[in-house]
Structure 1
Amino acid sequence: VFTLEELTQLVAIAATFKTMIISDEIHGDLTYAHNTHTPLGTLVEESGVECATCVAPSKTFNIAGQHFSAVICSSGTMYRKLTQRMETLRISPDILATVAASAAYSGGYGWLMDLNHYLSSQVNMIINHFNESNSGLLFVPPEASFIGLIDCSAIYERVAEEAKSNTDLYNPKLSPQGGLLSRFFGQKAAIAMNDGSWFGQGWERFVRFNFATSQGRVEAALKAITAAVAELN
């Protein structure tokens, strides 16, 4: 979650280079209590920077199938350009999606607070599991949303050695978008996670873990992950 200071610096940079900002804040509603989400559009009024803030109820209220999103424009000029382009492309949400989004935003606050509390408890459970597992894995808790990183630095070299002697299991051609660790956990623990190498150099020792499901399923996944690590030579 960007701090107010970081966002202010970003707006200043955009103002210097006369660049508009497109701010994707789809996960903003899922910010945990110890952090604060500041909508970027609230900071640009006096800077002259145009900002398009993208939001949607899909992540927050689990209605991604409705394909509803919204763009909040910082100026009337931007709004007119956007609506004109949408009309040209004949883009508009259907009635059911609009009703669902309206119901979620107008009546879902209590549910959202319960959800954030539940996700926060999931984070604590994952941290405690790895701390007590002696697996060497560490969970990097997120500041918002339902995805965290598992630091696998302690086992990375052992996985790399196993891959050398088991080339069929770690064959990149079988999973061209995967990486060393995602293949290991996919094959050994039957848990699909995004490999850290997706995010650039230096992240190959991490995997991305989605915990937006029931506590029982998360517990089962964690047990499978640590069991796979325990079987490493």
Structure 2
Amino acid sequence: MSNPFDFDQILNRQHSDSIKWQKYANQDVIPMWVADMDFASPPSVVTALQKRVAEQVYGYGHESTDVAEAFCDWYSRRYHWQIEPEWIVWLPGLVCGLHAVAKAFGSPDSALMTHTPVYPPFLKLAERNQQLLQAVPMLKPDQTGSGWQLDFDAMAQQITPQTKLFMLCHPHNPTGRAFTREELEQLSDFCLEHKLLLCSDEIHCDLVLSEQAHIPMASLNEQIADRCISLLAPSKTFNIAGLACSAAVISNPILRKQFKRSIQGFMPEVNILGFVAAEAAYREGEPWLDALREYLKENLTILTNWAKSKQQVKFTAPEATYLGWLDLRAYEIERPAQWLLQETGVALSEGSDFGCPGFARLNFGCPKAQLLAALTRLDQVLS
């Protein structure tokens, strides 16, 4: 079946306000770093935004029951997770949500635990909230014989009475793991045993590319749901991060009240266009998303075959996200992304920023021509 959406279209973002492209403005660089796709957003989102902008009045606004209904329906239909509208706390971004969780539920000298590699803001949460960081390395594919896995033995060894929070990235950025039910249940048991609150960043949940279905952490059982703060957003799914609309889902009314109180007065409201885009995406964006995932699978096949041709490049295909985590340790360069930028003009994300020197992250959420051009350049040194 032909794809009704043109993901091969090259959008010239070089002179736009794009962080991804402006970082290397006026340089011969192909940016494949930040998790921002080079695709047009769904037509339904563009149409809804144009209609709202045409109203010509942009005063103070608030979330409508319509956007909450669309949000709840999306997670019910796709993940069999029943969210009540009153559980939702709207946020102007997911990273500020991570910090809000650390602020609301941690305290000076308490500790939060996470895993490495991990999305870089996770590694800043403790420091910026006067807390202790317990970053537990994941088991690597060369240790497990399969994919990246949480190291529960190491977690048990590192936990202390000061540990109050576990911060989970699920699906996992940067490795692309879509954790199985068994893994999530083991993590649930760990958090319940040690009386930890669990914050689950599930921003990439709609971008599972394998047969492994995404399982929302809070949908596992009532016990972990009662201790869970889920962070969700349409931003990665529909390429609308610049519209800054995210949500914390907290079913426990005591935790939800505490969270709301902690952000009151310093967290800005979601902008009105963010709500418009979110509602349109959740109501009408599913056909676009289905087509996108098929296109990303094709790009992943290209990347996987390319990596197989490189004896010193180790690559485990992600089960989710449009992010490829390249193991370049064989080159014995601590910052391979910096080296590749200098040698080839391809900008990747540095592994050490995720807590894993010797690795680099490549964003394959782009037209095939751009991906192939980047891989051709990388061939110059990764022979």
Identical aligned pairs, as a percentage?
A: 34
Does 1:182 find its partner at 2:337? yes
Does 1:40 find its partner at 2:203? no
Alignment of 1:2-151 (within 5 A): 2-47=179-224, 49-89=226-266, 91-132=268-309, 134=310, 136-151=312-327
Q: Deviations over 1:19-53 (max 9, x none)?
A: 21111000111111321210011124145742110
Quick check: 212-221 or 134-143, which moved more? 134-143
Matched residue type, 1:54? L
Q: TM-score, normalised by structure 1?
A: 0.80
Cα shift at 1:107: 1.1
Q: Secondary structure at the match of 2:382?
A: helix
Q: Secondary structure at the match of 1:182?
A: helix
* Aligned residues between the structures: 206
Matched residue type, 2:208? T
In the aligned structure 2, how far is the partner of 1:47 from the partner of 1:129?
A: 41
Residues 48, 96 of structure 1: alpha-carbon distance in 2 compared, 3 angstrom cutoff:
closer
Residues 90, 197 of structure 1: alpha-carbon distance in 2 compared, 3 angstrom cutoff:
closer
Counterpart in the other structure of 1:226 = 379
Alignment of 1:160-175 (within 5 A): none
Cα shift at 1:121: 0.8
Q: Deviations over 1:32-76 (max 9, x none)?
A: 132121001112414574211000111111101111100111222
Whether the aligned pair in 1 keeps the contact of 2:225 and 2:251 (CA below 8 Å) is no
Does 1:193 find its partner at 2:353? no
Higher helix residue share:
1
In the aligned structure 1, how far is the partner of 2:299 from the partner of 2:305?
A: 10
Residues 47, 141 of structure 1: alpha-carbon distance in 2 compared, 3 angstrom cutoff:
closer
Q: Secondary structure at the match of 2:379?
A: helix
Alignment RMSD (CA, Å): 2.1
In the aligned structure 2, how far is the partner of 1:151 from the partner of 1:48?
A: 35
Counterpart in the other structure of 1:169 = none
Unaligned stretches of 5+ residues in structure 2: 1-177
Whether the aligned pair in 2 keeps the contact of 1:152 and 1:206 (CA below 8 Å) is yes
Matched residue type, 1:186? L
Which of 359, 365, 368 is equivalent to 1:212?
A: 365
In the aligned structure 1, how far is the partner of 2:291 from the partner of 2:256?
A: 34
Matched residue type, 1:137? V
- Which contiguous aligned blocks of 4+ residues in structure 1 show a shift greater than 6 angstroms? none
Q: Which has the higher contact order (CA 8 A, sep 6+)?
A: 2
Whether the aligned pair in 2 keeps the contact of 1:44 and 1:50 (CA below 8 Å) is no
Residues 81, 216 of structure 1: alpha-carbon distance in 2 compared, 3 angstrom cutoff:
same
Matched residue type, 1:196? G
Q: TM-score, normalised by structure 2?
A: 0.50
Whether the aligned pair in 1 keeps the contact of 2:219 and 2:225 (CA below 8 Å) is no
Cα shift at 1:94: 1.7
Cα shift at 1:140: 2.4
Whether the aligned pair in 2 keeps the contact of 1:44 and 1:51 (CA below 8 Å) is no
